[in-house]
Structure 1
């Protein structure tokens, strides 16, 4: 079979309800890798909370973080590594206007940097629960432009905040809305999305777009599912995403939907 680039969203797709990779999924992904396919994690998560999953999978391929903002091969120097950023002045401006806008918490990140304006345990430990003085988000500590700015906002002001962000900073940023129980917004550099990430990987590995197979479940997977030659949406995925899918898994993320689908699609079963 022709070499494929297999792009994997994490939450709700590769990971089960407990946010871990099941033994069966792990076996199938390693089998796909041994069969010569490029298996890559393509996630909205920062590197610090996806590193353990990458290591557990034990596949030495590039990884895309921050919805396409960072492309790298963990634990090694990759000459094709990239990291996109937006002006840090946006973070400073929002810090000044947090209270007025209805932003409760902010974190600025890059591959190996996390700064937050105060510790707050929420959303699967996404925001750091403790900070030292160098990790506080302020003008002194944010010395370089960030790749991502994540904000916990007032639920009732969310729509107004999104409108404000697009109007004032829209030339420099994309505004993403997280799925889940907490009202969380994420700012990323203009033009960044998962499709850009997989296109970059496919170009580097000389893999034709028709040979990209992407798996996802949420709105931040839309561009990737749309761009891939074969876009597969999880049974537990959103209705909007299912409408643009080439196919839908028969089982959800908690019942090894991805593993079963990929094993059949790549004819990996013995």
Structure 2
């Protein structure tokens, strides 16, 4: 079988609903790598809350974070590493309108940066719970352009905030709504999505588009599923994403759907 690039989303895809990778999933992905395929995590998560999964899987491949804005090999200097950003002035403008917009928490992130304007106890791990002086999002600490901004918004204001941000900054940023249970908005550099990261990986390894296999479950996986030669959507994926799929896993992320599908697809059993 020709070498495949296997791009895997984390939440709702590789991870179960307890945000864990099962032993079965680890075994299958390890077998895929041993069979000569490239397995790469392509996630909306920052690297600070995804490198633990990378290490658990024992990967050596590049990882794509922030929905395509950052590509790097964890724990090492890599000459092909990239980070796409948008102007930090956008962050300051949004902060000035925070109350008016009904935004509760604003975070600005990059590969080596995680700043938030207020501590947050609503969502575990997502926003920092306590902030040291140098982790507070302000003009002193935000010295570099961010690769992503995330905001916790009051749910009734969600639509209004999205349209206001798109009107004002739509030529410079993408405004995304998180698919999870919490009303979170995510800003990324204009035109950047997971397909950008996957294309970068394919170019780096000189893998033909037809040999890219991508797994996802949510709207932020759409461009990647569409771009891949074989786009696979999880049984628990959204209806819109399933419409773009080449195939759908018979089992959900709670049932090791990715592992069972890949085992069969790559004939690893």
Please state which band the TM-score falls in when normalised by the shorter chain: over 0.9
Distance (whole Å) between structure 2 residues aligned to residue 154 and residue 15 of structure 1: 27
Structure 1 residue 59, shift from structure 2 partner:
1.2
Match of residue 264 from structure 1: 264
Which 5+ residue runs of structure 1 have no aligned equivalent? none
Distance (whole Å) between structure 2 residues aligned to residue 77 and residue 194 of structure 1: 22
**1:154 corresponds to 2:154:** yes
**1:221 corresponds to 2:213:** no
Match of residue 24 from structure 1: 24
* Cα offsets for 1:123-170 (capped at 9, x unmatched): 332100000111111111100100001000111111011001111011
Partner of 1:214, secondary structure, is strand
Structure 1 residue 194, shift from structure 2 partner:
0.3
Match of residue 88 from structure 1: 88
Distance (whole Å) between structure 2 residues aligned to residue 115 and residue 238 of structure 1: 31
Q: Give TM-score scaled by structure 2 length.
A: 0.99
* Cα offsets for 1:95-141 (capped at 9, x unmatched): 11100111111000001111100100233321000001111111111
Partner of 1:188, secondary structure, is strand
Match of residue 183 from structure 2: 183
Which 5+ residue runs of structure 2 have no aligned equivalent? none
Partner of 1:78, secondary structure, is coil
Distance (whole Å) between structure 2 residues aligned to residue 262 and residue 180 of structure 1: 25
Structure 1 residue 4, shift from structure 2 partner:
0.4
Distance (whole Å) between structure 2 residues aligned to residue 2 and residue 147 of structure 1: 34
How many residue pairs end up in the alignment? 269
Match of residue 252 from structure 1: 252
Give matches, 1:184-223, under 5 Å.
184-223=184-223
* Cα offsets for 1:52-105 (capped at 9, x unmatched): 011100010000000000000001111110000000000000111100111111
Structure 1 residue 31, shift from structure 2 partner:
0.3
Alpha-carbon RMSD: 0.6
Worse-matched range after superposition: 52-61 or 116-125: 116-125
Partner of 1:139, secondary structure, is coil
